[in-house]
Structure formats: C-alpha cells, structure tokens
C-alpha cells in the first residue's frame, strides 16, 4: 500500500510539473514560451531547433568526392527538457545543444572503403600456352586516415560545421614493371628434332612435354623430371617405342621421353641452373652431341636441377612439327653460357654378332665414344671454361646373318 501511494504521489507531482505553466515573459533560445506548459514549451523550443537544423550541412571531402550530411542524419542532443523544468521566473534562457552525426563510425568506414585500395606491385602471370607472360602495372596503395577523420568530424560538429577533408595516405609501389620484366626474361632455350612420322615416339614426346610445360620452380626448390612427368606406363597413355635397354636399342613403353629430359637438361644448363642429378645413356643418342644427354628411367634415374636464385624460374616446353623446344625464364645473372661437347676417345666395335638362319647385315654396329662436356661462361668480357662431365658411350656390335656353308663372316 505504501509503495502504491508513493508511486501515485510521484506520478501526480510529475504530471503537475508537466502541466504547470511557465511564468509570462519566459524566452528559450529567443522563443517566447511564457504561459505555456513546460511540455508545450519543450516541444516548441525543440521544433525551432529542428527548423534551424534543416538548413545546416556537414560537408566531408575526400579526393574529388563531396559528401553532405543534413537533418536527420545530422542530428543533435540538448538539455531543453531539464531547462524547462528548472525555470521559475521570467527571463531569457538558452539551451545547450551538441550536434552529432548519426552512424558516424559506419559513415567513416564507408569513406575508407570507397577511397582505400591495397598496394599492388607490378606483376606477371605465367601461362603454359600462347605468350609466356601477361604483365600488369599494379597500383599504389591508398588508405584514409580513419581515426583522424573521425576526430576532424567531431571537431567540425562542435565548432561550426567547417568542411572536413579526409586525408589519404598513399603507399607507392616499390617496383617498376621493368623489374618484373627482368625477373621473367628468357634465360635459355634449347631445341631438338625428332621424326614426326614415328607416331608412337612422337606421341610420347608430346605427352611428356605437356607434363613439363608450365612448371614454376620457386627459389630454393628443386625440379624433378620424374615427379613432374610421373610414371611412363601404358595405363597413363604412353606407347611402345624404341628405348635403350642394357646397352642395346629395344622396344619399350615410353620410348622418346628421354629426348624431353635431355632437351630440358640443356636448357637448364644454359640458363645457369644448378644441375643436381643427371644420367648419361649407355649408348650415344642422335638428337644431341655426346655429354649433352640426360637419361631418365623408372624412379631411380632422374633429372633434377635447383633454383638457387631469389626469384621463381619458369619452364615452357613446346612440341610441334618435329621440333621439341624447352625454354627457361627468370632473372638473368648476366652470364652468357655455351655448352660444348668434345670427343676425347673412341671405343672400338666388338666382334660381329652372327645369327643363324639369317643372311646379310641385320643391324650395323658402331664405335663407342668417350666424351667430355664443357661449360663456357662469359661475364663482362671475361671467359671461363670448365669441365662439367665426362662420359663413356658403349660401342655396338654389328648383327649379321650366317653365310651359306656355315661361314660366319665375322671380323
């Protein structure tokens, strides 16, 4: 009962206060509100302020953009309610008001998003088809000074609505497009020819070349031919063609793939890459000079080279019209390289192999070769030459059919 009585008394006093009229001769912010109830005076004074607010503008400039904010986004808070309840005698009274921008944080975030942009350095996109690289200029970064803009807006709201200009900090690109071009220069290209009429071998070469094409070797990483190409099996599409097996030419699945590894090997050497692993054939091959081949087989014989530079190395392999070309792109070290082959010895042919029941020459023999590979490097006019490999390629015996009467015809 006491609580109810207290509540009713408070409500009565409050309503009495609202209903009480102000003394005559009372002015609030220059508006005559004498004789009005306090609630009516509050409404009238606030209506006058709203009318004044409709002519106010907050202008925010950012770059070439101009943004204006007005009532009701540009709003206010005041103490008219407290003021009207405190008036006891006639006179002129002035309320205190503070301007505010509704959604200030959201507005500033929008300005930052509209005028900010990330720094994008010039860059190149590598492609396995068509032109190797597409180049892009990039763009400077820009960032609106967010906290400074919020502070300046608040200062303008409290100081006369002076225009506010957002400050944008620009972060300039540190690279030029020519820097990117230098990092993607053609370091070396090497080509070999093959018999395009040999469909099985040509298909294998093309299939392996496609597996190599488009690879990127990052700084400090090593390229593995076997990892890039994968197993050379019939299940993966490889066909049977001539291979070298146990010192003889024979048919085998994946014949021709070694021409791809050899061509890539020469391009890597000429590009100045560090060759980590290579293997010579047991017999000399026709598509490169001795000591310039790189045989791959199964998982135990691989071609590997490392990128010891600070930037990526890009590999292209193109195969068409009986020509296989491998190219390496990256940042040049300024060295011009030449790969030389020198024959330093000959291995005599062994005795002919005689096959009973056949006549004439079945397959010709040939001498073996002892060769050396030299890398010649020229830097700023100074030329150096160093031995990088020494190889021995077996001789091959001729195969002949036995002559009539049991005469061998062997040498």
pLDDT at 323: 97
Which class for 105: exposed (0-12), middle (13-18), buried (19 or more C-beta within 10 A)? exposed
Q: Which CA distances in Å does 331 have to 122, 287, 335?
A: 15, 29, 11
Q: Count how many Cα atoms sit within 13 Å of the Cα of residue 293 in the half-sphere of its side chain.
A: 24
Report, as an integer, the average pLDDT of 97-123.
96
What does the pLDDT read at residue 3? 41
Identify whether residues 220 and 150 lie together within a single domain: no
Instruction: Tell whether the model's pLDDT for residue 8 goes beyond 60.
Output: no
The answer to the question of residue 190 being in a domain is yes
Residue 144, pLDDT above cutoff 70: yes
* Same domain as 35, residue 66: yes
What's the pTM? 0.77
Query: Does 172 lie in the same domain as 95?
Result: no
Mean pLDDT estimate for the chain: 91
In a domain, 114, yes or no: no
Query: How confident is the model at residue 247, as a pLDDT?
Result: 57
User: Mean pLDDT across the stretch 383-409?
Assistant: 80
Is there a single domain that holds both residue 257 and residue 228?
Answer: yes
Same domain, 191 and 328: yes
Residue 13 in any domain: the answer is no
Question: How many Cβ atoms are within 10 Å of 221's Cβ, its own excluded?
Answer: 13
pLDDT digits over 243-298, tens only? Answer: 776 556 667 788 999 999 999 999 999 999 999 999 999 999 999 999 999 999 98
**What is the mean predicted confidence (pLDDT) over 375-385?**
96
d(CA 177, CA 135): 8
- Domain boundary among the residues 332, 354, 385 is at 332
Closest alpha carbon to 172 in 248, 119, 243: 119
End-to-end CA distance of the chain: 137
Instruction: Calculate what percentage of the chain has a pLDDT beyond 70.
Output: 91
Distance CA 71, CA 87 (A): 29
Q: What is the mean pLDDT of residues 134-157?
A: 97
Residues 243 and 314 in one domain: yes
pLDDT of residue 246: 56
Residue 6 inside a domain? The answer is: no
Is there a single domain that holds both residue 206 and residue 326?
A: yes
The predicted-structure confidence for 196-240, as pLDDT tens digits, reads as follows 999 999 999 999 999 999 999 999 999 999 999 999 999 999 998
Q: Are residues 326 and 196 in the same domain?
A: yes
Regarding whether 35 and 133 lie in a shared domain, the answer is no
Of 150, 126, 135, 149, give the one whose Cα is nearest residue 330.
126
Asked if 397 and 351 touch (Cβ cutoff 8 Å), the reply is: yes
Q: Are residues 156 and 201 in the same domain?
A: no
| Tokens, residue 199 | 């469909």
Please state the rounded mean pLDDT for residues 181-202.
Answer: 96
Per residue in 303-352, pLDDT (tens digit) is: 999 999 999 999 999 999 999 999 999 999 999 999 999 999 999 999 88
Q: Does residue 367 lie within any of the structural domains?
A: yes
Q: Position of tokens 């009962």?
A: 1
More confident residue, 288 or 355: 288
304 lies in some domain: yes
pLDDT (tens digit per residue) in 9-51: 444 334 444 458 999 999 999 999 999 999 999 999 999 999 9
- 84-93 pLDDT, tens per residue? 999 999 999 9
For residue 233, the model assigns a pLDDT of 92
Alpha carbons 160 and 99: distance in angstroms, whole number:
10
Q: What is the pLDDT of residue 363?
A: 81
Domain count, the chain: 4
Domain with 68 in it: 18-108
Give which of 294, 258, 306 is closest to 389, Cα–Cα: 294
370 has pLDDT over 80: yes
156 in the same domain as 98: no
Last residue within a domain, chosen from 332, 348, 376: 332
HSE-up of 354 (CA within 13 Å, CB side)? 11
CB < 8 Å & 24+ apart, contacts of 58-61? 58/99, 58/101, 58/153, 58/156, 58/157, 58/161, 58/164, 59/161, 59/163, 59/164, 60/107, 60/111, 60/149, 60/153, 60/163, 60/164, 60/165, 60/166, 61/163, 61/164, 61/165, 61/166
Look at residues 317, 332, 347 and tell me which one is the last residue of a structural domain. 332
For residues 166 and 260, membership in a common domain is answered with no
Query: Is residue 158 assigned to a domain?
Result: yes
Is residue 168 scored above 50 in pLDDT? yes
Is 252 contained in some domain?
A: yes
């Amino acid at each position: 009962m006491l609580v109810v009585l207290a509540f009713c008394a408070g409500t009565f006093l409050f309503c009495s206060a609202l209903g009480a009229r102000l003394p005559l001769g009372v002015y609030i912010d220059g508006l005559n509100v004498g004789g009005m109830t306090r609630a009516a005076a509050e409404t009238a004074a606030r209506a006058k302020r709203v009318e004044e607010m409709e002519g106010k503008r907050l202008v925010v400039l950012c770059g070439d953009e101009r943004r204006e904010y007005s009532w009701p986004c540009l709003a206010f808070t005041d103490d008219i309610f407290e003021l009207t309840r405190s008036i006891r005698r006639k006179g002129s009274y002035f309320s205190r008001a503070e301007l505010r921008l509704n959604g200030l944080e959201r507005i500033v975030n929008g300005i930052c998003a509209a005028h900010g942009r990330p720094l994008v350095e010039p860059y190149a996109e590598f492609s396995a088809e068509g032109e190797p690289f597409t180049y892009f200029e990039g763009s400077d970064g820009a960032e609106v000074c967010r906290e400074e803009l919020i502070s300046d807006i608040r200062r303008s709201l409290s100081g006369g609505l002076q225009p506010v200009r957002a400050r944008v900090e620009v972060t300039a690109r540190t690279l030029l497009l020519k820097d990117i071009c230098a990092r993607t220069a053609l370091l070396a290209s090497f080509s070999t020819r093959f018999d395009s009429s040999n469909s099985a071998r040509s298909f294998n070469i093309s299939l392996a070349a496609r597996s190599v094409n488009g690879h990127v070797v990052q700084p400090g990483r090593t390229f593995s031919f076997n990892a890039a190409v994968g197993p050379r099996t019939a299940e993966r599409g490889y066909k049977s063609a001539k291979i070298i097996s146990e010192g003889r030419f024979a048919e085998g699945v994946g014949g021709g793939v070694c021409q791809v590894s050899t061509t890539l090997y020469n391009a890597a050497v000429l590009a100045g890459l560090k060759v980590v692993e290579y293997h010579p054939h047991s017999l000399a091959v026709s598509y490169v000079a001795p000591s310039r081949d790189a045989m791959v087989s199964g998982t135990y014989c691989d071609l590997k080279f490392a990128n010891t530079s600070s930037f990526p190395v890009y590999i292209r392999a193109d195969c068409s019209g009986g020509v296989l070309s491998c190219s390496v792109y990256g940042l040049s070290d300024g060295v011009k390289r030449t790969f030389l082959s020198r024959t330093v010895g000959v291995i005599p042919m062994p005795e002919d192999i005689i096959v009973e029941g056949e006549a004439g020459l079945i397959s010709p023999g040939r001498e073996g070769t002892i060769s050396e590979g030299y890398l010649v490097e020229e830097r700023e006019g100074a030329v150096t030459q160093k031995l990088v490999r020494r190889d021995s390629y077996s001789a091959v015996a001729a195969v002949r059919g036995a002559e009539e009467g049991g005469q061998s015809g062997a040498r």
